[in-house]
């Protein structure tokens, strides 16, 4: 729980003497967000959803929403707030979790590719090579990293076959 949310276990989350149900102020403590999380709760200076204590374990910056500068807030990257990089999460201190040349935020928010898979469409061309978009900072060949047959001609973008979708032919 953070910022303006109250804790179900504490009727006065911010400790100001006013019960949460009638508190005219937010439920932060001294102007900072506060995270209620079993064993990892406490102040959250940057209000990203990860307590400062948890950020010290992750070696992320407790004063920056996005410690690695990849375009995703730290609290989104450690979604379950357990302080570990789980298989379905990007890492708060790695701007390009899959190493394909596109930041996690660009993949998730702009391109729509998978920031945990270097080759989202499985066409044997790394996502960062496919994207040719100055905003996404790709230097690529302008194929779609989410579609193994970008132009729909039956030949795969990369040199492989994708089941019934396209045949081997390296159409780039």
pLDDT digits (tens, 9 = 90+) for 101-140: 999 999 999 999 999 999 999 888 899 888 875 555 556 7
- Higher model confidence: residue 14 or residue 58? 58
Confidence of residue 24 (pLDDT cuts 50, 70, 90): very low
**DSSP assignment of 34-98:** EE--TTT-EEETT-SSS-HHHHHHHT--TT-SSTT-SSS-HHHHTTT-SSS--TTS--TT-SSTT
pLDDT for 170: 60
Confidence of residue 70 (pLDDT cuts 50, 70, 90): very high
- The answer on pLDDT for 98 being more than 90 is yes
In our burial notation (b when 16+ CB lie closer than 10 A, e otherwise), range 66-102 reads bbbebbbbbbbbbeebebebeeebbbbebbbbbebbb
Confidence of residue 2 (pLDDT cuts 50, 70, 90): very low
Look over the chain and give the mean of its residue pLDDT values, rounded to a whole number. 80
Phi, psi of 162 (to 5 degrees): -115, 75
- Higher model confidence: residue 46 or residue 159? 46
- The answer on pLDDT for 96 being more than 80 is yes
Sign of the alpha-carbon dihedral angle for 56, 57, 60, 62: negative
- Higher model confidence: residue 57 or residue 39? 57
pLDDT for 116: 97
Query: What are residue 29's DSSP bridge partners?
Result: 32
- Point out the least confidently predicted range of 9-23, 63-77, 85-99: 9-23
């Amino acid at each position: 729980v953070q910022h303006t949310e109250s804790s179900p276990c504490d009727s006065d989350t911010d400790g100001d003497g006013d019960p949460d149900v009638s508190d005219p102020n937010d439920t932060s403590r001294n102007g900072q967000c506060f995270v209620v999380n079993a064993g990892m709760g406490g102040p959250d200076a940057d209000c990203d959803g990860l307590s400062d204590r948890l950020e010290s374990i992750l070696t992320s910056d407790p004063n920056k929403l996005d410690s690695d500068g990849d375009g995703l807030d730290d609290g989104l990257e450690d979604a379950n707030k357990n302080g570990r990089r789980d298989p379905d999460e990007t890492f708060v201190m790695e701007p390009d979790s899959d190493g394909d040349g596109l930041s996690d935020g660009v993949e998730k928010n702009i391109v729509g590719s998978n920031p945990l898979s270097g080759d989202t469409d499985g066409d044997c061309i790394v996502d960062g090579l496919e994207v040719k978009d100055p905003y996404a900072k790709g230097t690529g060949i302008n194929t779609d990293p989410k579609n193994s047959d970008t132009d729909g001609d039956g030949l795969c973008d990369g040199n492989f076959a994708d089941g019934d979708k396209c045949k081997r032919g390296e159409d780039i």
